[in-house]
Amino acid sequence: MSLKCPKCGNSKTFYRQISVTAKLKVNKQGKDLKTVYDVNKNDIDGWYEPIYCNVCNTQVGEDS
């Protein structure tokens, strides 16, 4: 199968969303600082089926 985005015509770069273990910085009041660090790229704990266009973020497929 060859992917092609129906919206922008991209046929080269696509992505899936995944979840990995990482740390999120918080301040001393416990509020999130939105700074993610210590990302462990070798520990993928979630793999999601939809495939998205890397140019316009349109969903283009659900194939594995």
Q: What per-residue confidence (pLDDT) applies to 62?
A: 76
pLDDT value of residue 63:
56
User: 13 Cβ partners below 8 Å, 6+ apart?
Assistant: 53, 54, 55
> How much is the pTM?
0.71
What local confidence, expressed as pLDDT, does residue 17 receive?
A: 94
pLDDT tens across 19-48, in order? 999 999 999 999 999 999 999 999 998 888
Write the CB contacts of 25 (distance below 8 Å, at least 6 apart in sequence).
Answer: 32, 33, 34, 35, 36, 37
C-alpha 21: how far from chain center: 13
- What is the percent of the chain with per-residue pLDDT over 90, rounded to a whole number? 86
pLDDT reading at 1 higher than 90: no
